[in-house]
Structure formats: structure tokens, C-alpha cells
Amino acid sequence: MSKLQGKRIAFVATDGFEDSELTSPWEAVTAAGADAVMIAPAAGTITGKNGHEQPVDHVLGQVSADSFDALVLPGGVVNADHLRLDSEAVAFARDMFTEHKPAGVICHGAWLLVEAGVVDGRRITSYPSLQTDLRNAGADWVDEEVVVDQGLVSSRTPEDLPAFNAKLVEEIGEGEHERQHA
């Protein structure tokens, strides 16, 4: 399958990510022909909360949104909490939205989108404990398996990964979404 042939997908995470929320979407986009790229705050390797080690391809601050076709933000409380405090991660996410790129976010990954200021007026889901944060940032939070809003794909937990992955590949395949915005 080559639905995403030639597409470069930026995965942004750091230590403490939810393993399956990185590995499952990674496998889905690469199986569809995309080039998945791991971007993190520091070089080397990042480790998931269950021990998956992922080599880092690029460091935040040394890449730009115009080099990628889509963004994926895995969850994991520690991962998401660290990234939302990283100004380069926040800027990169905002830039991806400014350039109308499709984005996928699952579980706690939405914290970075709150910090980036890109959820106001958007319909989104997440791990339930983020609903107040997302609503306070202007989002219409719903409790659904997968939500698609103008190129933004969101899901709640690892149990939602099959639906999340299918919609993620579909939205990336559609390309830039004019109504995707920062």
C-alpha cells in the first residue's frame, strides 16, 4: 500500500510516552508508504513508559514545519507534561497548524496543543482527565473513539488506536486542510 508515498510524518515525543501510542501510528503510516521521523527535545534515544526505545532522528529547534507533511503527538502523562513546557515543541506544533498540516493526537498529547493555542473552536477528544483543560482553551471536548476536525484527528486511549490509525492515514492522505489553523 502506498497511499502516503512521499509523505514525511513528524512524530514529536520525549521520555515517558505511551509506547503503543507511538508504535502503532508509526506502523500505520509507514505501512501506508510514509516516512516517519522521530523528533525530540534531545538527541539519542527516548524511552516509553513501558520500555520501548525509539531512536531520535532530529532535535526540536533544528527542524521546521515546512519539511513535514503531518504531525503525530503520542500521549503518556510524563511525555505530554514535559513537551507542553518545551517552547520549541510548542512552536513546532503551532507552526504545523499554521501551515495547515494534518495532525493526530491521542490521550494526553493534546496538552501540547493547548499550549500551542490551536484548539480554540475545535472539536476534539482526549484522555478524559484533559477535558477541563481543553474546554478552558476553547475546545468542544467530546468522549468519542475518534474525532476528526478539519485535519485534526484525536482519540482517547490505546484502545482507540485502530480507529485513530485509520483516520490518521486518511487525513494525511488528503493533504493540507485549509481550515486547519493556529
DSSP of 118-152, one letter per residue? Answer: --TT-EE---GGGHHHHHHTT-EE---SEEEETTE
Q: Known catalytic residue: 108?
A: yes
DSSP of 66-113, one letter per residue? Answer: GG-SEEEE---HHHHHHHHT-HHHHHHHHHHHHTT--EEEEGGGHHHH
Looking at 52, 100, 108, 181, which residue is catalytic? 108
- The number of residues in the chain equals 182
Give the chain's largest Cα–Cα span: 41
As annotated, the active-site residues are 108
